[in-house]
Structure formats: structure tokens, C-alpha cells
Amino acid sequence: MVDRGLHVYVGAPGSGKTFLADIHGRTLAGARGVGGLCIDSTGSSGLEHWKRAESVSDAVDAVWDRNELVRYTPGDVDELQQLLGAARNPGRCVFLLDEVALWPARLKELDHLCRTWRHTDTDVLVTAQHLSGDIAQGLRACSPRLYAFRQAPSTTLDLLSKEWKLPEDQLQTLGQGDFLMAGPIDWHALKT
């Protein structure tokens, strides 16, 4: 079972971020009986359970009219902002954003969504190779549940060890699919 809320999956390419986020997203949507929208930033393999949408409106109809699991690769930031907006209003869905760092660092709609997930009833799952700069700032402010996969030496590794108190040496030697978890524990009360 996975808790409701804001989940961040961080690690090197191929470490297992999308694999786990996919399972969590599908589990949450199934348990809640709501639709799921996956922003497939890279056209990633491993998201085949989410039906590919051909347009923003196609995706919106599938998620909110038919409670389906849908993935879409936005053509530009404007399309992404529209979908982030829909995740807040009407909300009540699961929103999986794969590889957030491919988008501009300051996505105001993402900040809003992460801050208001309880209110909007949307679980937010974000994967990223690094937690650098603005993205880290925005996400950190919202106390996410963090899943730290294998990480090479980097500013992200420093951050994971300093801010989240995760052991640096262990982070560098995690196997594929292995992760360390950190973040708020009071969310157990919010289990689906």
C-alpha cells in the first residue's frame, strides 16, 4: 500500500524511479477509484499501463470523464500548465510527472499543485534525476515523501545527505530498484 500525498522519486538514470512511481500511481488510482494522468516527458518505456492520449483534451476527457489511466507528452510548457491546472481543478486524480527537470525550473502551477494536494484531492508523484535549484526548493517546501535511488556524487547527493540525513555512501551503491525512503511519517494517518 502507498500513502496518499506528494511523492518524489530521485536517482540516476536507470535506477528505478519510473518503475516505482508507475506502481504507486496505479495502486493509488485503483484504490481510490479515480483517474490517473501521467506526464510522460520523455516518452519513457515502462509506462505502458497508461494509455497514450493524443491531445490535452483527449487526456482530460479520459481522466475526468472515464477515470482512466492516461499518459501524454506535452508539446510545450503551455500544455503542461493546462494539465497541471486540471489536476487542481477539477482535481481528484493521481498525477504522475515523470522527469520534471525537462521542464522549466519554475512551474508555478506545479508549486500550487504540490502545496494544495490535500485540498484538491490529487496525489502528486514526481520523478527527477536531480533535486537541483528551484525544483528542490519548491518541492522541499511541501514536505514530500522522498524515495532516493542510486545517486552519483553531485549536489543532489550532498542535499540528500545534509537535508534528509540519508547516508551518502549507501546512496551511491544502491542496486537497481533499491531506494532509501525519507520524509514525513504522519501521513500514515492518511492511508487510503
Ligand X SMILES: Nc1ncnc2c1ncn2[C@@H]1O[C@H](COP(=O)(O)OP(=O)(O)O)[C@@H](O)[C@H]1O
Q: In what order do the strands lie in the sheet with 51-52?
A: 51-52, 69-72, 36-40, 93-98, 122-128, 6-10, 145-148, 180-182
Closer residue to ligand X (CB): 45 or 189: 45
Q: Interacting stretch for Mg ion, rule CB under 5 A, among 14-22, 48-56, 62-70, 76-84?
A: 14-22
Separation of alpha carbons 9 and 145, rounded Å: 9
* Nearest distance, CB of residue 128 and ligand X, angstroms: 10
Closer residue to ligand X (CB): 14 or 153: 14
Q: Which residue is nearest to ligand X (CB)?
A: 177
Q: Which residue is nearest to Mg ion (CB)?
A: 18
C-alpha cell read off for 164: 534528509
Q: Interacting stretch for ligand X, rule CB under 6 A, among 12-20, 117-125, 159-167, 180-188?
A: 12-20
39, 157 contact by CB (below 8 A)? no
Give the closest residue to 182 by CA, choosing from 1, 17, 10. 10
Ranges within 124-183 binding ligand X (CB under 6 A): 176-177
- Residues in touch with ligand X (CB under 6 A): 11, 13-19, 46, 176-177
